[in-house]
Amino acid sequence: MTQTPLNPGDSPLVREALSSVVSRETSATPTAVQAGDGSGAGDAGWPRPAKTRVIAVANQKGGVGKTTTSVNIAAALSMHGQRVLVVDLDPQGNASTALATEHRGDVPDVYQVLVDDLPMADIVKQVPEMPNLYCAPATIDLAGAEIELVSLVAREARLRRALAAYDEIELDYIIIDCPPSLGLLTVNALVAADEVMIPIQCEYYALEGLGQLLRNVDLIKAHLNPTLRLSTIVLTMYDGRTRLASQVAEEVRSHFGETVLNTVIPRSVRLSEAPSYGQSVMTYDPGSSGAMAYMDAAREIAYRATVA
Ligand SMILES: Nc1ncnc2c1ncn2[C@@H]1O[C@H](COP(=O)(O)OP(=O)(O)OP(=O)(O)O)[C@@H](O)[C@H]1O
Ligand SMILES: [Mg+2]
């Protein structure tokens, strides 16, 4: 197998997309971030999708990079003219922390949207210093939702309904950061989404449990959400010095082919430091290897949709 290209510019798919897509200028909202955003990427506006893309970032395995991927892909997209909402669907509230969005105490959160029918507009906050980026925070209350949802009407479709009713801002992307389980919260994400993105950590047990996740995706597709598709696999925490990482990457690519992004996310201390400053790595250290990789990954995602 050939060396995995680290730069999506090397990929024929992306090259083709780049040449065939006429980039729609971002509509001139006063909030749009233009070139020179410090992202290190020269291109300002990426093509906006024809309709909002709702992407659930899921893997019931803990610590594989779901939140890091959600937050940084969202930040990268928002820095290129996309209006992006991150829905924190994990009671740990890690995505809310990373996006400097208050999620302690009495803050209205996703729990109240799912269980008490609070409108999404009442909880969504703009992320500080990121004009195109929004966050629907999760407080620890959300931990109760797995149980409380069970007895509610349309328990699997609560998030879908709430998002459908949310038309405050013309969103290009809704990225849902799922908890490390396959319970009702993740089911709600998969019912609300058009696409599933699975981060896979490049280590020994990487593929364990993946079958179960894929079966769930198929079940939800068959019964609850026919338009759902596994659109993206992203390889995370890649350590180029180990043979194991490249073996895992190769195995994942041979299973999933084009679904796997060309860009792999390297291990980078900067990625793990950024959340404690309430920032994505895109602003915390835009020149770091982690920031550049997530920027490339986000670019692939933005351009892929237009060739699908
Ligand atoms: N590429 C990376 N390089 C270095 N550290 C990383 C990288 N990606 C994630 N991490 C760190 O690994 C830990 C787990 O990542 P993250 O929280 O994104 O995973 P997760 O799948 O969301 O976890 P959980 O299942 O608990 O929600 C975090 O401390 C994060 O900062
Ligand atoms: Mg997480």
Q: Look at residue 302 in the predicted model and tell me its pLDDT.
A: 96
Q: Please list the residues that pair with 85 across neighbouring strands.
A: 134, 174
Residue 249: which residues within 8 A CB-CB, separation 6 or more?
4, 202, 235, 238, 264
C-beta 93 within 6 A of ligand 1: no
In a domain, 281, yes or no: yes
Backbone φ/ψ region at 237: left (φ over 0), alpha (ψ -120 to 50), beta: left
Residue 110's alpha-carbon distances to 46, 119, 210, in angstroms, are 29, 10, 27
In a domain, 38, yes or no: no
In a domain, 10, yes or no: no
C-beta 245 within 6 A of ligand 1: no
In a domain, 13, yes or no: no
In a domain, 181, yes or no: yes
C-beta 290 within 6 A of ligand 1: yes
Do residues 19 and 161 lie in contact, with contact meaning Cβ atoms separated by under 8 Å? no
Q: Could you say which residues of the chain have pLDDT below 70?
A: 1-44, 306-308
Q: Look at residue 207 in the predicted model and tell me its pLDDT.
A: 85
Q: Can you give the pTM of this predicted structure?
A: 0.87
Do residues 299 and 46 lie in contact, with contact meaning Cβ atoms separated by under 8 Å? yes
C-beta 265 within 6 A of ligand 1: yes
Q: Which two tokens stand for residue 271?
A: 């990625």
Do residues 125 and 134 lie in contact, with contact meaning Cβ atoms separated by under 8 Å? yes
Q: Which domain holds residue 202?
A: 49-304
SS (H, E, C) 97-135: HHCCCCCCCCCCCHHHHHHHCCCHHHCCEECCCCCCEEE
Distance of CA 161 from the midpoint of ligand 2 (Å): 23
In a domain, 97, yes or no: yes
Give start and end residues of each alpha helix (H) in the chain: 12-20, 66-78, 94-98, 110-116, 145-148, 158-164, 184-192, 210-223, 243-256, 269-273, 281-284, 289-307
- The ligand whose atoms approach the alpha carbon of 291 most closely is 1
In a domain, 11, yes or no: no
**What total number of domains does the chain contain?**
1
Measure the N-to-C terminal CA separation of the chain; round to a whole number of Å.
Answer: 25
Instruction: Using the structure block, give the residue that is written with the tokens 């090259």.
Output: 15
Considering only CA atoms, which residue is closest to atom 3 of ligand 1? Answer: 267
> Looking at ligand 1, which atom is closest to the CA of residue 273?
31
pLDDT digits (tens, 9 = 90+) for 84-136: 999 999 999 999 999 999 999 899 999 999 999 999 999 999 999 999 999 99
Considering only CA atoms, which residue is closest to atom 10 of ligand 1? Answer: 272
Mutate to test the pocket of ligand 1, among 61, 64, 67 (most ligand atoms within 8 A of CB): 67
Domain CATH code at residue 63: 3.40.50.300
Residue 234's alpha-carbon distances to 13, 45, 167, 252, 263, in angstroms, are 16, 23, 29, 10, 8
In a domain, 199, yes or no: yes
